[in-house]
Amino acid sequence: MDWLIFTGAIVAGIGLAGLVLSMVRVVKAKRAGLDDEALKQAVARALPLNMGAFALSAIGLMMVVVGVILT
């Protein structure tokens, strides 16, 4: 079950990278000095990436835990 642990770690890492990318997009939008409505739109555009990356990292961590339990 070592392959499950390593695969889960890779999936969790990709999810973490997506979370960082989402945070960078929101911080850039805040620093751009956008008005309230444009800032809301920028955050709304980053939300699907954030939620997908969070789900991907959770699935990866679950894979790691299952791999450790089965080893």
pLDDT surpassing 90 at residue 4: yes
pTM of the model: 0.82
When pLDDT is cut at 50, 70 and 90, the band that residue 18 belongs to is: very high
pLDDT surpassing 90 at residue 21: yes
**Residue ranges covered by each domain of the chain:** 2-70
Distances (CA, A) of 36 to 10, 24, 27, 32, 59: 37, 18, 14, 12, 34
What burial letters (b/e) apply to 29-50, b meaning 16+ CB within 10 Å? beeeeeeeeeeeebeeebeeeb
pLDDT surpassing 90 at residue 32: no
Average pLDDT, the chain: 93
When pLDDT is cut at 50, 70 and 90, the band that residue 58 belongs to is: very high
